Structure 1
Amino acid sequence: MNLIAIIVAVYLAVMIGIGLYAKTRVKSSADYHLAGRRLGVMMMAGTLAATEIGGGSTVGVASKAYGDWGLSAGWYVVAAGIGILLVSFVAPAMRRSMAVTVPEVIGRRYGAASQSITAVLGSVALVALAAVQITATATIVSTLGGVNLEWAILATGVAVVIYTWIGGMWSVTLTDFVQFFLIVGGFAISVPIAMHNAGGWESIVSRLPEDQLGFTKIGIPTIIGLVILYFMTFSTGQEAVQRYYSARTPRVAVLGSLLCGGLMTLYAFIPAVLGLIALAVYPNIDENNALSTVAIGLLPPVVAGLLLSAVISATLSSASGNMLGSSTIFIKDLLPKLGGRVTEENELKFSRIGVLAVGVLATVISLWSQAIIPLLIFAFTMRSTGPFCAFIAGLIMRKTSRLAGLVSIIIGTVAGFVWQIAGEPLGIASIIFGSVCGVVSFWVIHVIDARRGRLVGDADGSAASAAAQRDEQTSEALQ
């Protein structure tokens, strides 16, 4: 086994070790799903950033920089950072809701049907997102170990399931915190070394197509569309929202979110530069292998091991968050409606079984479809177009139309699917088209019901409010 493989193997062993430690902190389902709602600012920012800097933001950006987007592929991550900054405005409302899942908030305001539809959309989308991260990790493992991609996918699926299954949100949060610093450090060290070994920046530029360095090559409309996409998907995505729910206080949720957005924006163009270096030195490789090829071919073994461990950190942390989020939604929002009797005593057991089932399903999807960014965007569209308006309105408005929520979820989702199947006419992204349809239908019905006096608040809003007040008082006392 070469030195690079040894470093990666040691990293994976450390992650599993952290998972075993996290297991000692899991005493209840609240610990497993929400880390006991005790995350501070640094832990909050670290776990958010590590979760959102995944396969699309590392392997995906490098491959797009190698291919059609050039340097402007970095906007994919800048847009994500801006999206997180925008979510900061609704972060306090998320934390004060005292919810565990996104569909729970939907259900309180709009009823069981809206909750079930949102739960199915969110859970399925998270399985697809986990599959993307498994694929991204497997491409590194395959290149590094010289093994078949399918075997690499199987090995990756097993590894991420183990440490997620063991410790839940505590495991995910602790590993994310370590992984975030490894991601930033690994990439920051790698760029100047790879650039030097490729002959310097001028030599690299001379071997690139002229338009590959265009800072906005992907186009301003695409950049704006990505910002909107990320704001929508982060504000409704269980893997992100679950972290806001886990913050110690609403203030911590805001500060952690702001710090995360800033850190992601600073990191954004690093993997794009590595993709350009790969194109200059290795012009005839598969674009999905751009990052791993640079690591193995242009970096010293120790640095290559750190970079590849950083990439695996990014992808595994995102996959674990997606798996936990999907399992949480299923246990909290779907299983009781399917006749399952979930109690405080058996919820932890069901949650771990859920993580295992989600991991198996995500691995199967990864074996079937090995796309990265296209599958990411599909999943984001599926879970966000319909529930977005209803969820945000339910968080920030005291009363809304119950019917408006249900209709907007259905219309937004169907419109997004149809628009995507139609090939996104006029160049308008399906997530934009679907969400506009959802927002318009929501407000039309909301205004009509407001005139008829049919607006309602949360079904158990007073209980949630009282719980939130008690929780904040406890947190302030601890501080």
Structure 2
Amino acid sequence: MNSTFYIVIAYMATMIVISLYVSFKKVKSSEDYHLAGRSLGPLMMAGTLAAAEIGGGSTIGVASKAYGEWGLSAGWYVVCAGIGIFLVSFIAPFLRRSMATTVPEILARRYGTPSHMISTFLSLCTLFVATAAQVKATSSIIETISGGDFVTVTVMVAIVVTLYTMMGGLVSVAFTDIVHICFITVGMAIAMPIIVHGAGGWEHVVSLAEARNPTQLELTKVGWKTIGGLILMYFMTFSTGQEAVQRYFAARDIKTARLGSFLCSLLMALYGFIPAIIGIVAFAHFPDIKANQAMPMAAMKFAPMLIAGLVMASVVAATMSSASGNLIASCTLFTKDVYQKYINPNASDRTILLLSKAVVGVMGIASLYIALNPAIGIIDLLVFGFTMRSAGPFAAFLFGFIYKNATKNGGLAAIICGSVVAGIWQYLGEPYGLMSLVVGSAASTVAFFAVSMIERSMGVPAAPPAISAENVEQNRLSELR
């Protein structure tokens, strides 16, 4: 074991200590555990939202894609995420005003039980996959810097992440996320030029990379269809994904939700191409490594020990934070949308709190099973999960806030049609270069408006609004507190 490995372990231990301390001080109820007491300010919200999204896909995953088939254009993966968050800022007031706890809860209000059950199932499956991707990314780092066995390292990471999440829920995650995001953005921004310099300078890196593959440095190598698809994917998944939307629900008020979202989008856009450049350094110098090892290898080889250790520690922290956020979202969905809705509606707050912690443990084990499959890539896992979670519910969820003539069957048809079409398109290998999420969401939108308009013309009443007068009053009272 080298010194970098011990820096990573020390950082992980520090975050767990912080999480323990905050959990004892702040977690008094299930609302604290799931929504941080709806008390997040703009900076806290921006930090925890960014930390939830800048994880394995935006660090190890981007460097891996830059090392592989996407080249430097892999940086668009993060920039597109920033654009997606920016677009979500405009619907943030609707999210906070709903006074909801989960996304399926909003769909249930408008479209009824069938829509609620399908969206809950899709969301839970996606969060399993997303958590597995973050565990896999964390394991890739520790495997590289320690030389340990992948299976052993992955099991260790899954245990740490699961325990970390069980301690304090969203309130402790929000506090530690601020530390994480400072390390990942500031640390990587400092480390990237040091790594490039250590690799012989940018011109030397370019010459080596072009000698291996002349197209590796093209900014649009990934293609404009993919870039546009990524923006749409992120807009849809951030506006319908529990792990992101839960942060909007937890904002102090509507203004905070919008401002925090704007700040997060700016942060992600600035961070953008940093991991892609590090991936190109690895591509130029290490032709025979695993793609997932691109970032840790470049940092360890071309940066001083302290810088390399901090980079790896911050990436580990980011991936752990994303995994933790996904686990919290999973347990919130299960306890609120399965247990409390269909099994025990009168469960006490203490029962919900204890059940939430137990569910985190079970879901941590399920995610570990997925992460141990060596054939699945990090970004591939995330894109597949986001597609199946968002393609169907997107139109019903988003337009459900603003389209008064939506019917219950219109929402249900959108969810089913979009999910089925996206799944089939994915199975066919995404013909014509169109992402499954784009095709599925288009089908979802057509089904939503077509069925709603046909039913309204037949005299079928519109579905009840997603935001009631009671929700508006709850918002007013919360802002007075």
TM range, smaller chain: over 0.9
Is it true that 1:148 corresponds to 2:149 in the alignment? yes
**Which position in structure 2 is the counterpart of 1:168?**
169
Pick one of 301, 307, 324 that aligns with 2:305.
Answer: 301
**Which position in structure 1 is the counterpart of 2:470?**
463
Instruction: Give the Cα–Cα distance (whole angstroms) in 1 for the partners of residues 403 and 472 of structure 2.
Output: 14
Offset at residue 338 of structure 1 (A): 4.8
Unaligned runs of 5+ in 2: none
Contact 1:36 1:246 in 2 (8 A): yes
**Which position in structure 1 is the counterpart of 2:66?**
65
Pick one of 376, 383, 387 that aligns with 2:389.
Answer: 383
Q: What letter matches 2:338 in structure 1?
A: L
Instruction: Give the Cα–Cα distance (whole angstroms) in 1 for the partners of residues 466 and 324 of structure 2.
Output: 32
Is it true that 1:473 corresponds to 2:480 in the alignment? yes
Instruction: Give the Cα–Cα distance (whole angstroms) in 2 for the partners of residues 367 and 96 of structure 1.
Output: 40
Q: What letter matches 1:50 in structure 2?
A: A
Offset at residue 453 of structure 1 (A): 5.0
Offset at residue 459 of structure 1 (A): 7.5
**Which position in structure 2 is the counterpart of 1:236?**
240
For the aligned residue pairs, the C-alpha RMSD in angstroms reads 1.3
**Which position in structure 1 is the counterpart of 2:418?**
412
Instruction: Give the Cα–Cα distance (whole angstroms) in 1 for the partners of residues 243 and 402 of structure 2.
Output: 20
Contact 2:19 2:167 in 1 (8 A): yes
Contact 1:62 1:274 in 2 (8 A): yes
Q: What letter matches 1:77 in structure 2?
A: V
Instruction: Give the Cα–Cα distance (whole angstroms) in 1 for the partners of residues 23 and 318 of structure 2.
Output: 22
**Which position in structure 1 is the counterpart of 2:450?**
444
Deviation readout 1:346-373 (Å, 9 max, x if unpaired): 1101111111111111111111354211
Offset at residue 424 of structure 1 (A): 1.2
Q: What letter matches 1:15 in structure 2?
A: M
Q: Classify the secondary structure of the residue corresponding to 1:368.
A: coil
Is it true that 1:259 corresponds to 2:263 in the alignment? yes
**Which position in structure 2 is the counterpart of 1:356?**
361
Q: How does 1:11-410 map to 2 (within 5 A)?
A: 11-24=11-24, 25-209=26-210, 210-341=214-345, 342-369=347-374, 370-398=376-404, 400-410=406-416
Contact 1:279 1:290 in 2 (8 A): yes
Distance change in 2, residues 1:250/1:460 (3 Å): closer
Offset at residue 337 of structure 1 (A): 4.9
**Which position in structure 2 is the counterpart of 1:432?**
438
Offset at residue 396 of structure 1 (A): 3.0
Offset at residue 296 of structure 1 (A): 1.4
Instruction: Give the Cα–Cα distance (whole angstroms) in 1 for the partners of residues 318 and 79 of structure 2.
Output: 16
Instruction: Give the Cα–Cα distance (whole angstroms) in 1 for the partners of residues 436 and 149 of structure 2.
Output: 35
Q: Classify the secondary structure of the residue corresponding to 1:211.
A: coil
TM-score by length of 2: 0.96
Instruction: Give the Cα–Cα distance (whole angstroms) in 2 for the partners of residues 453 and 472 of structure 1.
Output: 37
Offset at residue 458 of structure 1 (A): 3.4
Contact 1:386 1:435 in 2 (8 A): yes
Identity of aligned residues (%): 48
Instruction: Give the Cα–Cα distance (whole angstroms) in 2 for the partners of residues 96 and 399 of structure 1.
Output: 20
How many residue pairs were aligned? 474
Instruction: Give the Cα–Cα distance (whole angstroms) in 2 for the partners of residues 337 and 248 of structure 1.
Output: 26
Instruction: Give the Cα–Cα distance (whole angstroms) in 1 for the partners of residues 293 and 475 of structure 2.
Output: 47
TM-score by length of 1: 0.97
Instruction: Give the Cα–Cα distance (whole angstroms) in 2 for the partners of residues 345 and 66 of structure 1.
Output: 48
Offset at residue 154 of structure 1 (A): 0.5
Contact 1:93 1:396 in 2 (8 A): no
**Which position in structure 2 is the counterpart of 1:477?**
none
Q: What letter matches 2:178 in structure 1?
A: F
Contact 1:108 1:461 in 2 (8 A): no
Instruction: Give the Cα–Cα distance (whole angstroms) in 1 for the partners of residues 120 and 403 of structure 2.
Output: 21
Deviation readout 1:47-69 (Å, 9 max, x if unpaired): 11111111111011101111111
